Amino acid sequence: MAAVYILYSKSRNNCYIGSCLNLDERLEDHKSKKYADSFTRMADDWELFYCVMDLEYKQARNIENHIKKMKSRT
């Protein structure tokens, strides 16, 4: 099952919105800066702000895209 999540960085006062199949593994990727060009590499203080679990992958992607299109810090 998939998840949609929002990470928050206090130092950047910014959010990151994502979706994945394995949330624990994906959070570890963010913390370890696994991807050199990723948005989350810019800060070390990302915290899980919000998460919705047990979704179908397509549903999770649709929710992620909807949140991103809202373009709101709240």
Task: Note the pLDDT tens digit of each residue in 34-60.
Answer: 988 999 999 999 999 999 999 999 999
The single-letter code of the amino acid at 25 is E
CATH of the domain at 62: 3.40.1440.10
Number of domains in the chain: 1
Decide if pLDDT at 73 tops 80.
no
Helix, strand, or coil (residue 50): strand
What is the pLDDT, as a whole number, of residue 43? 95
Q: What is the 3-state secondary structure (H, E, C) of 7-67?
A: EEECCCCEEEEEEECCHHHHHHHHHHCCCCCCHHHHCCCEEEEEEEEEECHHHHHHHHHHH
What is the domain range of residue 42? 2-70
